[in-house]
Structure 1
Amino acid sequence: MMRMIDDLKIRYPKASAWAFGDTPEMADELAERVAKGIKTASCCSLSSFNHQDDSSAIGGYSIILNSQGEPVCVIRLVSLRIIRYCDVNEAFARKEGEGDLSLGYWAQGHKAFFQREGSFDAAMELVAEEFELVEVV
């Protein structure tokens, strides 16, 4: 498995390897949705983004892992912006590719996620990322 990740890092220099979400089930479900082209966006709180060791850069690659730490696909960041939780719209919620793709589902799921993180506030700033699928592993 590490060899496979190392091989991908040779093809995609400086790529980071990570999993979505905060549970094994979420990591597997979201990685699958990215690999199928359903999920083309993600977000995190600005505070957690600022505490990441490797800040995302437009044009940068990420190796998306499942809950077992196995690579599922490679994505490339194409857009990065700051938006408030309360200002997320239906179009961005659909790009997040979760649940029924509605803004209501997005708001409910992300409120719960950010509450678990300890950072929820309706006016909180999010880092909204959009990406393209480069390769399914």
Structure 2
Amino acid sequence: MSTDDQVEADADEIASFWELARVRAGLGRLAVVTGAGAAASVPPPAWAFGDTPEAADTLVGLVLTGAKTATVSPVAEYEASGAAFPSVGDLAIVLDGRAHPRALIRTTGVRVARFMEVDAAHAWAEGEGDRSLESWRAVHEEYYRRSARSGGVEFGPDMELVLETFEVRFPPRSSRPARG
């Protein structure tokens, strides 16, 4: 989310969500001990998809229905922030537009590709619009051009992107909205 539209996440709400999600998803157990592992006490990063509260709500909704199992971010954003690329196995808490935790996801794949190299399978997995590659390119080009105007990353067909796939670990499928 952009700074102007971002709502501050409540640390206690994130911690409570993490406690419930990690237990229900079977995470954070040591093989020898029945208690929680050391990493289980620290919640993973919490963030929202999109650059507005409305986009965050729409996109987390797609995650919860199972339509959205992929995302993409410019390599330049990682470089500018000093953040590491996602890695397979990474966990994240996805927030809605009001910064409430809604889903725990686990990264299942990461690759780097240029904008024009993104394929139809990845566009489909992002779950947005009509899920076609043409729609994906139009929406993402507009988004990156808008981001460039507000000081973000400059768009070009050769811009490098980090393509990430993920699975929802919590909430369980039975408690999520029906796919439709």
TM-score (normalizing by structure 1): 0.91
Match of 2:69 in 1: 40
Q: Which amino acid aligns with 2:107?
A: L
Distance 1:53 1:31, change over 3 A: farther
1:128 to 160, 163, 177: 163
Larger Rg computed on CA atoms: 2
Q: Does 1:4 align with 2:13?
A: yes
Give the corresponding residue for 2:37: none
8 Å contact kept, 2:15–2:43: no
Higher RCO, Cα 8 Å, sep 6+: 1
8 Å Cα contact 1:58-1:77 kept in structure 2: yes
Residue of structure 2 equivalent to 1:100: 130
Structure 2 residue ranges without an equivalent (≥5): 1-9, 23-39, 149-153, 173-180
Once the two structures are superposed, the pairs formed by residues 1-137 of structure 1 within 5 Å of their partners are 1-10=10-19, 11=22, 13-52=42-81, 54-55=83-84, 56-118=86-148, 119-136=154-171
Compute the RMSD of aligned alpha carbons.
Answer: 1.7
> Structure 1 CA distance, aligned partners of 2:165 and 2:122?
9
Residue 54 of structure 1: how far off its partner (Å): 4.4
Counterpart-to-counterpart distance in 2, 1:36 and 1:50:
32
**1:60-115 CA-partner distances (Å, limit 9, x unpaired):** 11100011000111100111110010011111100011011111110011001111
Q: Which residue does the alignment assign to 2:6?
A: none
TM-score using structure 2 length: 0.71
Please say if residues 107 and 164 of structure 2, whose CA atoms lie closer than 8 Å, have aligned partners that are also in contact: yes
Q: Which amino acid aligns with 1:21?
A: G
2:14 and 2:43 in contact (8 A); partners too? no
Amino acid at match of 2:52: T
Alpha-carbon separation, structure 2, partners of 1:122 and 1:88: 10
Residues 34 and 110 from structure 1, CA distance in 2 versus in 1: closer, same or farther, beyond 3 angstroms? same
* 1:112 maps to amino acid: E
